[in-house]
Amino acid sequence: MLENLFSSRVKLDGKSRLVGLFPETHYIDNISFGGGAPEERLFPVAELKEAYQAAVQKEGAHAFQYHDIRGPEYLRQFLLKRAKDLVGIKNVDDSQLMLTAGGQQGIELVAKMLLNKGDAMAVEAPTYVGALAAFDNYEPTYYNVSMQDDGADLEQFEQLLQVHPEIKLFYTVPDFHNPTGITMSIAKRKHLVELANKYDFIILEDTPYRDLRYLGQSLPSVKSFDTEGRVIFLSSFSKILTPAFRIGWLVASPVVVQALTKLKLAEDLEVPYLPSATIEYYLKNNDLDEHIQSLRDLYQGKMEEMTTALNRYLPGVKVSYPEGGFFLWLELDEGIDTTKLLWENSVPKEHLVYVPSENFYANRDCKNGMRINFTGPSYQQIDDGVKRLSRMLLETSKK
Ligand code: PMP
């Protein structure tokens, strides 16, 4: 048995939480409310192709060489300016910025930097399943903090910290939370930093959806309230440009950036040059914020279509109404198991895919919710998909 040679991090339960989550590719008439996919029609294909060609033309054969782990200087300066202007992080300089292979690598590196086997960390319950998959590999002891309408329940968190002062990391998605769509209030952002100072832990603020606000005013980041360098602000080009390049970035204390860079060097040596240089040339010749505005316009329309369809076909169901992002969260009656509801003889029932709630809980103990994505499906699919969902629920209630 080869598996006997595997380390305990692989053996945990034999598979990643991410395996089998998105079965949508297998059936042609599937409608997917599953993954967190951007709308393909809005990828700026011509502009990105031009930017790629410009990068190759400028550098010639050198474009295909190894490069500096830090990534292109222009891109770094662009992101530092954005951190100051749009994220509210003052006094930020180059020693605090790091490019990563998507936000996902940022999460994984932070886990690797902080967590020895059994170390205590806290997560929102529910939370992003990909983050749990990354943390799982370092075998932490998880503590859950419940979600409220204005973000994580910080009273509950403080009680937890009093009993478990050994908690060293709190992972949060404060803007249009994945999976619930909830946004953390300003008061809680400030208070969270106070708790981190008082109880000595690090906050990982994960914000891939931050720019995709459809309603209301943008809020200052948790990082903007940071007084002791305890907050790691993480973001990504995946949702605002393309996920295919795998480029993310983080802003953190220089000592944290140094530690993470050491770990990244061992993982992949450098930021992939051609994707990052393509983004550089794209930014030089195009207005990213104009592009983001076109995403906002389309996604806001789709979110409204989804909420209208839910009101029409599933009037009694408890639904979150986010101000941005990619997801709505549905809470069904206690006793309904949305994982069981999804499958029939290994095929998604009604060929409709969503992500069952248990996947978003560290200990998989909440069965009656589901995350539905509204950015990937077309308007027609949104309407048809919600009809399918209501049929599924009707059939279950008859049983
Ligand atoms: N964090 C959150 C909350 C996400 O939803 C995602 C992607 N779904 C990621 C991080 C990772 O994104 P990427 O690696 O593509 O930047």
The alpha carbon of 5 and the centre of ligand 1 are apart by a number of angstroms equal to: 31
How does strand 352-353 pair with strand 31-32?
parallel
Tell me which residue has its CA closest to atom 12 in ligand 1.
Answer: 103
Cα–Cα distance between 359 and 342 in angstroms, integer?
Answer: 13
Measure Cα distances from 119 to 95, 114, 140, 234 in Å.
28, 8, 5, 22
Q: What is the mean pLDDT of the chain?
A: 93
Model confidence, pTM: 0.95
Task: Give the residue with greater pLDDT, 120 vs 19.
Answer: 120
> What average pLDDT does the segment 231-260 reach?
98
Question: What pLDDT shows up at residue 10?
Answer: 79
Asked if 154 and 196 touch (Cβ cutoff 8 Å), the reply is: no
pLDDT digits (tens, 9 = 90+) for 35-81: 888 999 999 999 999 999 999 999 899 999 999 889 999 999 999 99
> What average pLDDT does the segment 22-36 reach?
75
CB of 36 sitting under 6 A from ligand 1: yes
* Residue in the block written with tokens 């979600």: 147
pLDDT band at 29 (very low <50, low <70, confident <90, very high): confident
Question: What pLDDT shows up at residue 310?
Answer: 96
Asked if 386 and 306 touch (Cβ cutoff 8 Å), the reply is: yes
The alpha carbon of 208 and the centre of ligand 1 are apart by a number of angstroms equal to: 6
Whether the per-residue pLDDT at 99 is higher than 60: the answer is yes
If one residue of 107, 182, 236 were mutated to test the ligand 1 pocket, choosing by the most ligand atoms within 8 A of its CB, it would be 236
* Residue in the block written with tokens 């991090």: 9
Asked if 225 and 206 touch (Cβ cutoff 8 Å), the reply is: no
Q: Measured from the CA of 103, which atom of ligand 1 is nearest?
A: 16
CB of 325 sitting under 6 A from ligand 1: no
Tell me which residue has its CA closest to atom 7 in ligand 1.
Answer: 36
Asked if 352 and 30 touch (Cβ cutoff 8 Å), the reply is: yes
Number of H helices, E strands in the chain: 12, 16
CB of 130 sitting under 6 A from ligand 1: yes
Structure tokens, 73: 């200087």
| Sequence letter at residue 288 | L
Whether the per-residue pLDDT at 11 is higher than 90: the answer is no
pLDDT digits (tens, 9 = 90+) for 181-232: 999 999 999 999 999 999 999 999 999 999 999 999 999 999 999 999 999 9
Cα–Cα distance between 203 and 167 in angstroms, integer?
Answer: 11
> What average pLDDT does the segment 357-365 reach?
91
The alpha carbon of 185 and the centre of ligand 1 are apart by a number of angstroms equal to: 21
Question: What pLDDT shows up at residue 23?
Answer: 61
Cα–Cα distance between 178 and 111 in angstroms, integer?
Answer: 19
Query: Please, what's the b/e burial string for 16-37 (b: 16 or more CB within 10 A of its CB; e: otherwise)?
Result: bbeeebebbeeeeebbbbbebb
Q: Measured from the CA of 106, which atom of ligand 1 is nearest?
A: 14
Query: Please, what's the b/e burial string for 49-78 (b: 16 or more CB within 10 A of its CB; e: otherwise)?
Result: ebbbebbbeeeeeebeeebeebbbeebbeb
Query: Beta partners for 343?
Result: 348
The alpha carbon of 103 and the centre of ligand 1 are apart by a number of angstroms equal to: 5
CB of 236 sitting under 6 A from ligand 1: yes
Region of poorest pLDDT, from 284-288, 305-309, 351-355: 351-355
The alpha carbon of 398 and the centre of ligand 1 are apart by a number of angstroms equal to: 38
The alpha carbon of 166 and the centre of ligand 1 are apart by a number of angstroms equal to: 27
Question: What pLDDT shows up at residue 52?
Answer: 97
Highest mean pLDDT among 18-32, 179-193, 307-321: 179-193
pLDDT band at 345 (very low <50, low <70, confident <90, very high): low
Question: What pLDDT shows up at residue 37?
Answer: 86
| Sequence letter at residue 236 | S
Q: Measured from the CA of 243, which atom of ligand 1 is nearest?
A: 15
CB of 238 sitting under 6 A from ligand 1: yes
Question: What pLDDT shows up at residue 13?
Answer: 64
The alpha carbon of 206 and the centre of ligand 1 are apart by a number of angstroms equal to: 8
pLDDT band at 22 (very low <50, low <70, confident <90, very high): low
The radius of gyration of the chain from alpha carbons, rounded to an integer in Å, stands at 21
Whether the per-residue pLDDT at 258 is higher than 80: the answer is yes
Whether the per-residue pLDDT at 278 is higher than 80: the answer is yes
Angle between helices 45-59 and 273-285 (to 10 degrees): 110
Alpha helices in 5-128 (DSSP H): 8-11, 45-59, 73-85, 102-114
CB of 104 sitting under 6 A from ligand 1: yes
